[in-house]
Structures are given as C-alpha cells and as structure tokens.
Amino acid sequence: MSNTWLNVRFGSRHLQIVMMRDWWGMIRDGRSPITFRRNPYHVERRRADPSWPWFALYELRWPW
C-alpha cells in the first residue's frame, strides 16, 4: 500500500504529498514529504497526443 496522500498531475508535472504519519521520518532522512516534479514521460506523451488531459487526480486519501 502506498504512503501517498495526494498524487496529482498538472500537464507534465506531478504534485505528491505523503501521509502525515511519515513526515518526520522523511524529514529526518533528508527527504521532502512534498514534491512537485517534472516528468519527462508526460512531456513526450503530451507531444504525441495533444488531446491527452492536462489534469489528472491519481490518488487522494485521508492524510492521517
């Protein structure tokens, strides 16, 4: 099971936020619990298919 609370795609970028219970461990390990990254696969996908939706909600769960 994933520890992701929110996973959203905006065009070629992904916003991912992990569950609140995992924040301290990730921060302690030097990792960010909130990431907003560009995904090269989605860049190419949008070029190949312009009708591909710009927004997609992949996962949304209760954050606790």
> pLDDT at position 63, please?
66
**What confidence tens digit (pLDDT) does each residue in 23-46 have?**
999 999 999 999 999 989 988 988
CB 39 within 8 A of CB 14: yes
> pLDDT at position 1, please?
59
> pLDDT at position 22, please?
92
Q: Which residues pair with 55 in a beta bridge?
A: 10
Q: Residue 5 burial by CB count (10 A; 0-12/13-18/19+): exposed, middle or buried?
A: buried
Q: What is the rounded CA–CA span in Å between residue 46 and residue 9?
A: 12
